[in-house]
Amino acid sequence: MIDSTPSLLLGPTVRHDGILARALGTAGAREGCSPQRLLADLRAGAPGAHSAFRYALAQEFCTYVSGLGSAFQAVYVYGSTMDGRTRPSSDVDIIAWVERKSDTVESLLWRLNRLLTQGYRTLTGCASLRSLFDIHLVDNEDVELGRGYGSVIRSVWTAPVCLWRR
């Protein structure tokens, strides 16, 4: 069961079961290093470490929203996270496909983003990061009509990657 509040950090240490800690472990394994080594690379500003960590964070984001109910249909990631152009202050470009947009869903995603951004800043020392995720909500109608970011989902130029689908 997924806790309704994302566990992030407790003081100066990473919680062993938190979103950031799981992403560090996943990205470290993908990069062939320990979470501690990945964290050192993140703090040093290594682009590869930031790309791997952001992709793992996008996966954790999907895991979290998949437990929130049927409002979410799919989550896509695109941009610098996918093509290796990530810098310490880069955000993760996300398209969250929901059945129908609502203030409740937008508020929830805004709070999740704010908490993870704070945790990321503390963890990496990257105070210049304004927002960890750049989340664009699309609904069934946006996707059907190819309107706004709904058109990006089927774009051959942007080619977002679907990380999760209901």
Over the stretch 41-87, which tens digit does the pLDDT of each residue have? 999 988 889 889 999 999 999 999 888 877 899 999 988 777 666 67
**Predicted model pTM:** 0.84
Tokens 């805004």, located at residue: 110
Q: Strand locations in the chain, DSSP E?
A: 9-10, 13-14, 72-78, 92-98, 133-139, 161-165
